[in-house]
Amino acid sequence: MSEKPRTVSGMRPTGPLHLGHYFGVLRNWIDLQEREQAFFFVADWHALTSDYADPSAIRRNIDEMVKDWVAAGLDPEKCVIFRQSDVKEHAELSLLLSMITPVSWLERNPTYKEQQQQISNKDLGNAGFLCYPVLMAADILMYRPHGVPVGEDQLPHMELTREIARRFNYLYGETFPEPQALLTPAAKCPGLDGRKMSKSYGNGISLSEPMASIRDKVRGMFTDKARLRKSDPGDPDICNLFPYHVLLSSPEEQMEIRRGCTSATLGCVDCKKIFLKNLAAFLEPLQERRAKLDDKAVTDILAAGGERARAFAATTMNAVREKMGL
């Protein structure tokens, strides 16, 4: 039997995971673990690129994020779950790739520019933040995957990873495949304020958040800005809430919501009540599974996954050193 194709992806442990993580990435991961050799890592070194001044929360966030992953459906028997810093080969490959990566490639990164403008409460002028796409490329290329499950905002990083792979192959000989982006079909999950849902912006609904807290947030959520009163017809296609119905409501409910919104017979308050009902049905089983996981279970998962990841990384680095004459 031929070997399964490989995939790899990771997340930074910078806070609670939200609905955008689930529908934008995690749901895709859960599907991929069934049919591919899947490596999923906690990107704690990446977290330091922005949280270097106070890394005290990273350790706690690591454990909490792995609990979210497993509660959402990742199975450590079906995929490799590990911590980035447990595999030192990632740092070595990142250093070697930085030698061949032009600074201009990093400076044109749109995510780098966006976060410099949007995040004003942290100093992001450090070299680690500028160079994190190189570390990301090392994380990916280490496992020589055919594809990487990512959200749309990560597409520029994927292109840069392919460029770095091409440059390495040109200079030293064919070593790395050029991985493709594996986008989840329903990746749109806007933030409560209309921007992209992001931990950095504090505009999301976390997977572990109590429904009482969520209800308060949803009451103040942006909907259709042009609909000031219930008697005003709305447009679901520009409403900030309707994408959530696409993700969580049945097709029949979506039709009723669209009909009621455009005819002004369904108000935003009632529309939000439907969303909250369906959200509770989605989150409650996930949160029940999460409550059964303790810190020891997380430690065991990361230890076993780290051992498997290091074994694979060692083979890649042996090949890289040989190609580079080291």
Q: What is the pLDDT of residues 239-265, one digit of tens each?
A: 989 999 999 999 999 999 999 999 989
CA angle 20, 151, 310 (to 5 degrees): 105
Q: Is the pLDDT of residue 103 over 80?
A: yes
More confident residue, 124 or 257: 257
Q: Tell me, which fold does domain 6-188+295-324 have in CATH?
A: Rossmann fold (3.40.50)
- pLDDT confidence tier of residue 307, bands split at 50, 70 and 90: very high
pLDDT tens across 149-197, in order? Answer: 877 778 888 999 999 999 999 999 999 999 999 876 655 778 888 787 7
pLDDT of residue 86: 98
Question: How many C-beta atoms surround the C-beta of residue 224 within 10 A?
Answer: 20
Tell which CATH classification among 1.10.599.10, 1.10.240.10, 3.40.50.970, 3.90.230.10 matches the domain 211-289.
1.10.240.10
Q: What is the mean pLDDT of the chain?
A: 89
- Extract the tokens encoding 290: 């999460």
Q: Is the pLDDT of residue 64 over 50?
A: yes
Beta strands at 6-11 and 37-42: parallel, antiparallel or unpaired: parallel
- Closest to 132 in 3D by CA, of 160, 168, 151: 160
- Extract the tokens encoding 145: 């995957």
pLDDT of residue 34: 96
What percentage of residues in the chain have a pLDDT greater than 90?
64
Residue 53 contacts residue 238 (beta carbons within 8 Å): no
Measured distance CA(326)–CA(323) in Å, rounded: 8
pLDDT of residue 1: 33
pLDDT of residue 114: 60
- pLDDT confidence tier of residue 123, bands split at 50, 70 and 90: low
Mean local confidence (pLDDT), 220-236? 83
Q: Is the pLDDT of residue 198 over 50?
A: yes
- pLDDT confidence tier of residue 146, bands split at 50, 70 and 90: very high
What does DSSP assign to residue 278?
H
Q: Is the pLDDT of residue 122 over 90?
A: no
* Domain coordinates in residue numbering, the chain: 6-188+295-324, 211-289
Question: How many C-beta atoms surround the C-beta of residue 147 within 10 A?
Answer: 20
Q: Is the pLDDT of residue 309 over 70?
A: yes
Give the pTM: 0.87
pLDDT tens across 208-217, in order? Answer: 999 999 999 8
